[in-house]
Amino acid sequence: MVRRVLNAVYKEVRGLHQAAYVLASFAVGSQLLALIRDRLLAHQFGAGGELDLYYAAFRLPDILYVLFASTLSVYVLIPFVAKAKEEGRRIMSEVFTFFCIAYAILAVVLGIFAPQLVAILFPGFADSETLVLLIRILLLQPFFLGLSSLFGVITQMGHRFVLYALSPLIYNIGIIIGVLFFYPIYGLQGLVFGVVLGALGHAAIQLPFVFQSDIRPRLVGTSENIGKVLRVSVPRALTLALHQFVLLGLVGFASVMTEGSVAVLQFGFNLQSIPLAIIGVSYSVAAFPMLAGLYADGKMDAFRTHIMTALRHIIFWSVPILALVVVIRAQLVRVILGSGAFSWEDTRLTAAVLALFVFSLLAQAIHLLVVRAFYAIGNTKIPFLVTLGSSLLAVVFAYIGIETFPVFQEGIEALFRVEGVSGTEVLMLPLAYSLALILHAVTLLLFAVRRIEISGRIIFAQVSRAVLAAILAGLSAYATLNVVVHVFDQNTLMGVFLQGFVAGVVGIVGGVMGYALQKSPELDEVVRALHSRVFTSKVAESADVAPRD
């Protein structure tokens, strides 16, 4: 039994759809655990001050993670290893050594100056010693996640997508342990102890395969290889860091708003990340190793075909899901988070934040794929410049939105049905984020059409089909919801669940009918892929499971 489980975990998975569906399946599991995690937090704290501090504490460590771990990650290193396999082990070891030393230095400096940084970045929490302590503990998290990112190069090069996809599940299990067992003993510190435990498990799950790999990293001296890697990776790291700086800015704005604004903002962001992880992340992660290999082999026609295939299916899934989430947002939030200290007002405000975040779902998914396409061809300049512009726009939009909110307050509150709820000014933050991301995705696609020569006509046609399917899905769900709210008890969890479930199912049927009426080729491809076996490649031998001595 144990051997069978290990063989399944270490099985090779090849093919874009097969790999994407494996990653999507595990992403569903990971997101289910994330929902349990968020429900436990919402039940325990509600949208209040303690969660504000907890979520704010992640912002600086997350930036550090991006600057270091993602600088030397899968998407940078795979092209180097793919082009120079005989030097792969040396490159991996040098990168590993550089990461360990450089991260330790910067983390120590950040820990020392944490009080001053908190006062500058989070003016609403300037005097919070608790926030400083939480940040210092969380500085361990990026280190373990960074190691896991390096290990991910080896697991993805070996097409061990099941193993790679298990890491986020382990991470969320660690956080849940922190909520259930560490918090009652250590308070808020216990929550971040759970985060650190999850990050450690994120890396440790990959160790058996890493140890038996020919390119497993070791501590060595560095050479000019580090300079070559950094010239490619630093622009990418800055690109990703810009996104984290935007989130840092939004949390900074929220810190001076009504208590609980940071928590509401984070809950909404986490919920919209679920479809993004299942769709956008799955396809982009599955596509990247193939794209890097095809470009390295000079097969540009196949390279463009893989991009367009992934892009068409991202659009196919994202747009109807966007419509469904907007329609049944209140039911989703209430079922997932609505217990204990999480009030009905918290539900209404979080649902509105979710709707505004999910408005940019397609844009975010497109960003994940197209940026990786540029990285596969070694172009990091375009993603950086486009992201820099959109990041500045997000902060500017947020500032303008907050300043002008009193003028539009009544209309916005009526549109999202949050009349009488305190703290509605927080809605300007996800609105600014989504507007900037949409402009970002459109600009990035225009560059991709010009530089990579993907087909803008096909993209437009697929968006048109998806929008029509989404309209039918949304109208079906909305009409059904207006009927079932009078059938099921709105004051019970089961009643709210059934409202959302029935409306969602009818909406999905409406979306499928919309695609079928248009004879969508993507619908046919999905049906064929679901009928094929996901695990078609040869199972790794037991020697691939056990680490070498």
Is residue 367 situated within a structural domain?
A: no
pLDDT, one tens digit per residue, over 281-323 is 777 767 776 787 788 778 888 888 888 888 888 999 999 999 9
What is the C-alpha to C-alpha distance for residues 399 and 257, in angstroms, rounded to an integer? 13
What is the C-alpha to C-alpha distance for residues 278 and 293, in angstroms, rounded to an integer? 24
pLDDT band at 252 (very low <50, low <70, confident <90, very high): very high
DSSP H helices in 49-113 = 49-56, 59-68, 74-83, 88-112
pLDDT for res 309: 84
- Residues 6 or more apart whose CB falls under 8 angstroms from that of 250 comprise 265, 394, 398, 429, 432, 433
Q: How far is CA 208 from the centre of its chain?
A: 26
Find, among 336, 368, 208, 206, the residue nearest to 268 by Cα: 336
pLDDT for res 12: 52
pLDDT for res 5: 47
pLDDT, one tens digit per residue, over 206-218 is 888 788 877 777 7
**What average pLDDT score do residues 31-55 get?**
90
Is residue 182 situated within a structural domain?
A: yes
Provide the phi-psi class of 155: left if phi over 0, else alpha when psi is between -120 and 50, else beta. alpha
Is residue 289 situated within a structural domain?
A: no
- Residue 445: count of CB within 10 angstroms of its CB: 19
Is residue 294 situated within a structural domain?
A: no
Is residue 239 situated within a structural domain?
A: no
Work out the percent of the chain whose per-residue pLDDT is above 70.
85
Total count of residues recorded for the chain? 549
**What average pLDDT score do residues 79-100 get?**
74
Work out the percent of the chain whose per-residue pLDDT is above 90.
50
Report the chain's mean pLDDT, rounded to a whole number: 85
Residue 1 has pLDDT above 60, yes or no: no
Handedness of CA 19, 22, 28, 31 (dihedral sign): negative
- Residues 6 or more apart whose CB falls under 8 angstroms from that of 503 comprise 327, 328, 331, 477, 478, 480, 481, 484
What is the C-alpha to C-alpha distance for residues 383 and 434, in angstroms, rounded to an integer? 18
Which position has the higher pLDDT, 94 or 193?
A: 193
Which position has the higher pLDDT, 349 or 234?
A: 349
The count of domains in the chain is 1
**What average pLDDT score do residues 175-193 get?**
94
pLDDT for res 95: 83
| Torsion angle defined by CA atoms of residues 303, 304, 310 and 312, in that order, rounded to the nearest 10 degrees | -170
pLDDT for res 546: 33
Residue 23 has pLDDT above 80, yes or no: no
pLDDT for res 507: 96
- What is 425-487 written as a DSSP string? GGGHHHHHHHHHHHHHHHHHHHHHHHHT---HHHHHHHHHHHHHHHHHHHHHHHHHHHHHTTT
pLDDT band at 191 (very low <50, low <70, confident <90, very high): very high
Is residue 76 situated within a structural domain?
A: yes
pLDDT for res 543: 32
- Residues 6 or more apart whose CB falls under 8 angstroms from that of 40 comprise 176, 179, 180
Which position has the higher pLDDT, 176 or 28?
A: 176
Find, among 147, 244, 266, the residue nearest to 196 by Cα: 147
Q: Kindly report which listed range (136-150, 224-238, 448-462) carries the lowest average pLDDT score.
A: 224-238
pLDDT for res 541: 33
Which position has the higher pLDDT, 456 or 179?
A: 179
Is residue 208 situated within a structural domain?
A: yes
Q: How far is CA 384 from the centre of its chain?
A: 19
Is residue 141 situated within a structural domain?
A: yes
pLDDT for res 304: 87
pLDDT for res 537: 40
Question: DSSP assignment, residue 216?
Answer: -
**What average pLDDT score do residues 493-506 get?**
93
pLDDT, one tens digit per residue, over 316-366 is 999 999 999 999 999 999 999 988 899 999 999 999 999 999 999 999 999
Segments forming the whole domain that contains residue 228: 49-234
pLDDT for res 14: 53
Which position has the higher pLDDT, 164 or 341?
A: 341
What letter represents residue 209's amino acid? Answer: F
